[in-house]
Chains A and B, each alone.
Chain A
Amino acid sequence: YVFTEGNPKWKRNNLTYRIVNYTPLMRRADVDEAIQKALSVWSNVTPLTFQKIEDKMADIMISFVVRDHQDNSPFDGPNGQLAHAFQPGEAIGGDVHLDNEEYWTKDGRGYNLFIVIAHELGHSLGLSHSTDPGALMYPTYAYTDPKEFHLPQDDIDGIQAIYGQSNAPVQPTGPTTPQACDPSLTFDAVTTLRGEMMFFKGRYILRKHPQRIETELNFISLFWPKLPSGIQAAYENIERDEVLLFKEDKYWVLRGYDIAPGYPKSIYRLGFPKTVKRVNAAYSDENTGKTYFFVADRYWRYDENKRSMDHGYPRKILSDFGKIGRVDAAFQKDGYVYFFHGTTQFQFDPRGKRIVRQMKSNSWFDC
């Protein structure tokens, strides 16, 4: 996180805000709600309070303007610069300006008003842009479903360094941005996808192309805005050029790079009993056409050709996969299966049914 140069801050904790005008693209109630939610992002983690006023000059004046609007920082039409805000201070200090030529929405279409205003309010309170790509105060727009939004730890640390901690008995914490070479890195799910490797972690994908040294970190929503964060299992059916992604009792199918229509569907269609609430990991053996699903300490085997579960399952993972008791994530590559459990990774030879190597979970990233 970075403080605005000169460390400006409000001398009071009880601030006021006023919505000067509205975008014609959203219902007023939705704009009000987006702004209230954005303000609570910051008031939930500090002693700050925000009171809405209807007339008079407020500390934070929020308005939708276009192009040159007499503050020496003209907007540039659709896309590009979406909004800006001013550091704490009198008059224009703390004010938020939103480009009224943007396509403002309350969901994943266009630009989500809540996400953008929450970012701008960070400036109104004295924060500058963060270099943490997962931070709310990162300069570029990245959609997150407002229902799933949690203020990242980097932003919490920054705003509390200015205004102090929240008065709540339990201090709120937020998600951190995964670092590829963090020795304590664990994964929610791993899969191949047309020769690349996708490591799922929270709202992120760590993407590894075999020919490139760097590991790319992106939001899941950048590729698939309709997918939730926290994907729990994933596997590639290479023959069908499909990737299946699982979360709780639902799964999605990616065909190529697009989510196939009609998804998510229920995992019970695949033959799981109702006692199964989620899938921890999965991999598909492209030689046998069998897919292995790992749930807690058991696993099922699914026949991709018959499109049904094989009989005689579930079985204990321990009975067929060596000392691997539970699995967080799994994928197959070059005939070997790689199982991830916590920070440990096992390379398993499915023909010899034995573990041939044990590595760190992030061994695929050139750390």
Chain B
Amino acid sequence: SAFPVAPEAEEERKNIALVETYLQNFYNLQKDDQPHVRLKSVNPLPEKLKEMQEFFGLKVTGKPDLETLEMMKKPRCGVPDIGK
């Protein structure tokens, strides 16, 4: 865009994308095909994030804290951690 994006905002945007992709790949987070439609139902991402944090023995915060993001950036197996 014509307006430069603040580095922090860019970083945050990347982290959110990392979290969503990771949880979709390995924790069965359903892809949100209609982001523009605000559903009344609960956002499943914090719960999925807690599931991932519990699996890896991290502090279960439901928030993408530094330790959680570092774990998500580690090279790993492509098989999901839960479910089929």
Contact = CB atoms under 8 A, between A and B. Distances in A.
Contacts of B25: 81
Interface string B58-84: 000000000000010011111101011
Interface in A60-75: 73, 75
Contacts of B84: 4-6, 87
B75 A80 contact: yes
Nearest to B22: A80
Nearest to B56: A131
B70 to A, nearest CB: 11
A73 B78 CA distance: 8
A6 B26 CA distance: 18
A82 B79 contact: no
A84 interface: yes
Given A5-B84, A81-B25, A139-B26, A133 B77 contact: no
Interface string A41-81: 00000000000000000000000000000000101000111
Interface residues of A, number: 27
A84 B75 contact: no
Interface string A333-359: 000000000000000000000000000
Interface residues of B, number: 15
B58 to A, nearest CB: 10
Interface string A73-115: 1010001111111010000000001010000000000010000
Interface of B: 25-26, 55-57, 71, 74-79, 81, 83-84
Contacts of B74: 140-141
A214 B57 CA distance: 11
Nearest to A119: B77
A278 interface: no
A82 B83 contact: no
Contact of B83 (A5, A83, A85, A140): A5
Contacts of B76: 80-82, 139-141
23 contacts: A4-B84, A80-B75, A81-B75, A81-B76, A82-B75, A82-B76, A82-B78, A84-B77, A84-B79, A99-B78, A119-B77, A120-B79, A128-B79, A128-B81, A129-B55, A129-B77, A131-B57, A139-B26, A139-B79, A140-B71, A140-B74, A140-B75, A141-B75
Contacts of B56: 131
Interface in A1-58: 4-6
